[in-house]
Amino acid sequence: MLESLDVRTLIVILVLGHAVAALLLFFDTQKRAQLFDVLFMASMALQSAAWALILLRETAPDVISFSIGNSIILVGFCIEGICLLSLERLVKKHWRQFYASVLIILLVFWWIPGLSHYIRLGIASFIVPFFFGFPALFLISTESRSTPLRKFLGATILIYIFATVFRGAFILMAENYNLTIPHPYQILFMLTQVAFMILASTGYILLRKECICENLQRDIERRKRVEDSLRKSEELHRLLVENAGDVIWAMDPSGRFTYVSKSVEKIRGYTAAEVLQQSFEETLAPASQEIARRELNTRLDEVRKGRRFSPYIGELEQTCKDGSTVWTEVVTSGIYNEKEEFVAILGISRDITERRLIEEALRKANRQLTLLSGITRHDILNQVTALGMYLAIIREDMKDPSMTTFLEKVQSITNTIQAQIAFTRVYQDIGSQEPQWHDLEAGIRKLEIPGAVTMDVNVKGIEIFSDPMFEKVFFALLDNSIRHGDHVTQITVSSIESEKDLKVIWEDNGIGIQPGEKGNIFKRGVGKNTGLGLFLVSEILALTGIAIRENGEPGRGARFEMLVPKGAWRRAGTATR
């Protein structure tokens, strides 16, 4: 029965079958073809062309029908094996190198001169299984992705490998072999080749669809996990926002609220839904409306000019549903979309009514203490003045020279008491008022510079957040340069900016400060005069975290560096308060 089959007919079937397989895959993947789909189509087309050349075995030269035809089949087998591996996502660099090495070795062997056709075919039949063996094993043995289609396709490839090896052994043992001469084993192998062509190409197409479904299922599961994670995250953030003590809100550029957290009801009595119906001006007391309107318009003008929305920090008085008011600290920033377009304002409002009451009580207590200390200081100075007068009278009537020394000591003690009382008048004002922004250059320009001294000031546009007594810092530094610099003729004030802080540098060309004195000049009572000037400088600056140090060279002048931390300085025109 097998002898009745025509080998040429089977070859024609192989030619047409591979061509049809390539066309089917082309029409199936023309809208979403991947690289390995294109390669598989190329493999089918190459094998179709190769079998067409082999069909010309009796009419065309051997180099065309046998050598070139079988070489093309070997290339097609190599590509087909790689494509089958791609379905299992196993085409790594080492696999590509392996397949390329096997193909090169096989082609070099195939074109060795002097070898007979049947030896070439026989040896090649033992090497070809390397192209299909690994895909078959992976399709069958991968338990994590095991499906009936994978196992069937893997078994089909293994059967083909067995048939190819058997054919190789048959060819090597045959005394004379010719592809076109009918023989039961030859016919059986050709039938196996046809069956493998049909099952491998169909299996690739079906397995590709199965992989697409698996990938789609994984994408769906991954998306579900992401959506669940986002939902849980959103629920957590909403829980945090809704239960926060502060009011979190968003407002569009026109001044209408787009979101208000439920905590607004605890502070103002209005529900979130009621606040969403109000404009931002309706939520504020009359005095704060003007402040908020001015600050909002300023920032919106900046946005219209292409600049970023400047953050704002300030205290505003808001109205409550029962007619009362509440003080809030308001912090705002701009919200931008993925195109960096300004779309809304994000704000946080915190109830500071109790804090303001405490601050007012502290200010009142401070005023009372200041009044009391002023009265006490005035009375003590009156008594000290009277004591000085009595000492002067006693000195005039003193007849005993030995008592003069004691009178001078009493007078010295009296002068010290008077100086210390005077110091308390200055020191009591430090920290008694809230810090504020100071124009650095304007404050320095207020100094009265002696005619013999030249001053260069290079700190334009810088503002420092410090105690209201900040200007006295430079009065004290000037006094220190003139009084202790001996021959000061030049004073320079400059600044150096960095990511962490700002350095404000005061330099003179006097005699400088000796190394042994540098560590003590900011201590109270240390110095050649009262010993209070640089101590007060240090205390005033320390209130807002500003440090000062002296690092000049003796003989070349004093050099004071003020280290202003980030947040305690800014460029003029970037106000956030």
Domain segments of the chain as ranges:
2-221, 247-351, 357-427, 436-571
The predicted-structure confidence for 368-412, as pLDDT tens digits, reads as follows: 776 677 777 777 777 778 877 877 777 777 766 767 777 777 777
Q: What does the pLDDT read at residue 424? A: 67
Distance CA 503, CA 98 (A): 65
Residues 6 or more apart from 138 whose CB is under 8 A from it?
85, 88, 90, 154
Closest Cα partner for 122 from 137, 114, 105, 110? 110
User: Count of residues for the chain?
Assistant: 577
The predicted-structure confidence for 512-532, as pLDDT tens digits, reads as follows: 888 878 778 888 766 555 546
- Tell whether pTM > 0.85: no
Residue 306: is it exposed, middle or buried by C-beta count within 10 angstroms (0-12/13-18/19+)? exposed
Q: What is the mean pLDDT of residues 152-176?
A: 79
The correct answer on CATH 3.20.20.30 for the domain covering 247-351 is: no
State how far the alpha carbon of 270 is from the alpha carbons of 242, 265, 352, in Å.
Answer: 15, 5, 18
What is the chain's mean pLDDT, rounded? 80
**Three-class SS state of 452:** coil
pLDDT at 96 over 80: no
Distance CA 6, CA 3 (A): 8
Pairing of strands 490-497, 454-457: parallel
Q: What does the pLDDT read at residue 191? A: 79
State how far the alpha carbon of 399 is from the alpha carbons of 12, 371, 395, 405, 406, in Å.
Answer: 149, 44, 9, 13, 13
Q: What is the mean pLDDT of residues 482-508?
A: 88
CATH architecture of the domain with residue range 2-221: Up-down Bundle (1.20)
The predicted-structure confidence for 238-250, as pLDDT tens digits, reads as follows: 666 566 678 888 8
How big is the chain by its Cα radius of gyration, in Å?
48
Q: What is the mean pLDDT of residues 190-200?
A: 80
> Which CATH fold topology does 436-571 show?
Heat Shock Protein 90 (3.30.565)
The predicted-structure confidence for 56-86, as pLDDT tens digits, reads as follows: 877 778 788 778 888 888 888 888 888 877 7
Number of other residues whose CB lies within 10 A of the CB of residue 113: 4
Lowest-confidence segment of 26-30, 102-106, 125-129, 308-312 by average pLDDT: 26-30
